[in-house]
Amino acid sequence: MTEKIIQKALYTKFSSHQFKFANAFYFENESDFLTFLPSGYCYEFEIKISRSDFKADFKKIKHQIHAENDKGNEYFMDKKGMRTNYDPSWEFCKNFPELVIAEEYQDYRQKRYNEWSIRLKFNPYSMIDFRRVSNERLPNKFFYAVPAGLISKGEVPEYAGLVYINEDLTVTKIKDGKFIHKDLLKPQKLWNKIYYAYENLLRSTLYSNSQ
């Protein structure tokens, strides 16, 4: 099952919603599927087609925002400029063990003989911002949309809902997403982006070399 197939199933299921967008940038990260109800509420669906993809999703900044909002905190930490440093000193490892990561790796010679080594690394950031948690950064409800049985409702965060996409492309709600907030968001923000993309296409067409 692919992301496009899941988007098709969601489009059919939520056809009564007033506006529907796929792969749209409205919040901090790209939304796989985003809908706006006639009431003005916004639902975001994060599509996952593998368990590894699901686990990797929590590295996104939007989950930091959700988590801090869930705790009632006013700010979240935005880390930027990450780089990887290898072989930290013993003093660093002793004083900051929670920052040190051990990983297996192979150099060119080891690949020939299927040998592995262990190396240490840590990931410093060049800049850390503390940004205010705002309802404009969050949908009214957030869901994971996955092939049936891929993950269980116990694996999704407290703030998230879960829907299964069945083989016949029907959608089953396993866990309802809680209302993160009840402010009404403005889909016009996406209309502006769509128009700018159209205008750029129009400009390139009108001013192309071909007559």
Rounded to whole angstroms, the Cα distance separating 80 from 66 reads 18
Q: DSSP code of 153? A: G
pLDDT mean over 40-49:
93
How far is Cα 119 from Cα 101, in angstroms, rounded to an integer?
8
CA–CA dist 45, 142 (Å, integer): 6
Burial class for 29, CB neighbours closer than 10 Å (0-12, 13-18, 19+)? middle
| Res 162: pLDDT | 97
Kindly report, residue by residue over 147-157, the tens digit of the pLDDT. Answer: 999 999 999 98
Mean pLDDT, the chain, integer: 81
Give the least confident one: 4-8, 22-26, 133-137, 158-162: 133-137
The structure tokens listed for 42 are: 């916004």
Q: Helix or strand or coil: residue 97?
A: helix
CA–CA dist 46, 33 (Å, integer): 7
- 119 bridge partner residues: 103
pLDDT (average), residues 22-28: 81
Three-state SS at 82: strand
pLDDT of residue 102: 82
**Bridging pattern class, strands 42-47 and 30-36:** antiparallel
Q: DSSP state, 108?
A: H
